[in-house]
Every structure is written in structure tokens, then in C-alpha cells.
Amino acid sequence: MTEQEPKSNPEIVKNPIWLSVSEAAKLGGIQTKTIRRAIQSKAVKYKVAGNRYSISLSSLLLYLNSKTKLKNKLNLYGLGQYIENWKS
């Protein structure tokens, strides 16, 4: 009898990448106050270590792709300027 691997769930990330507020803003091509607003409205997944916020990269990308204006900034000024075609 062979053991099967469990089906992967895209919602569960084994080793999530956590970013500081300033790193998240740079990757997104947006200002830090936009990230702080997203934290305040619980639009991104975050944790607090000491007095610093850490934002989940996967939730940040979902947030940035949720609105056209943010998506355009991501593509023009953020990480998207280095990637020719994003995975849909």
C-alpha cells in the first residue's frame, strides 16, 4: 500500500514570507500609509512582533490585486515592473 500526499490547499502556506511595512510598500509601489490603512481595515494578514507589524506576502499580493489603482501601481512602480507576465 502506498501512501498518498495530501492535496495541497492554496490557502495554507507552509513557510509564509513576512514583510515589514516599508518592505511591503516598496514591493507594491505604494506608500507606507496605504499599507497601514490595509492593516487597520484588516485587508491584509499581519502579525505584531514587539511594536512592529509583519505583513504576509500572499495577503499583500491579494490586496494589491483587489483594486485597479493598486494593481496599476504594483505593475508600474512595484514588483510588477520586473515581471513581464503575472500568473493569473
Span 1-56, pLDDT tens digits: 444 444 545 567 788 899 999 999 999 999 999 999 999 999 999 999 899 999 99
Task: Answer whether residue 66 is part of any domain.
Answer: yes
Confidence of residue 80 (pLDDT cuts 50, 70, 90): confident
> What is the span of the domain harbouring residue 66?
18-80
Task: Answer whether residue 64 is part of any domain.
Answer: yes
Check if the beta carbon of residue 28 is closer than 8 Å to that of residue 67: no
Task: Answer whether residue 48 is part of any domain.
Answer: yes
Task: Answer whether residue 10 is part of any domain.
Answer: no
| Res 42: pLDDT | 95
| Res 4: pLDDT | 47
User: Which CATH number goes with the domain that contains 39?
Assistant: 1.10.1660
Query: Phi and psi at residue 53, in whole multiples of 5°?
Result: -90, 145
Counting the structural domains of the chain, the total is 1
Which of 87, 82, 20, 14 has the alpha carbon at shortest distance from 49? 20
Whole-model pTM: value is 0.79
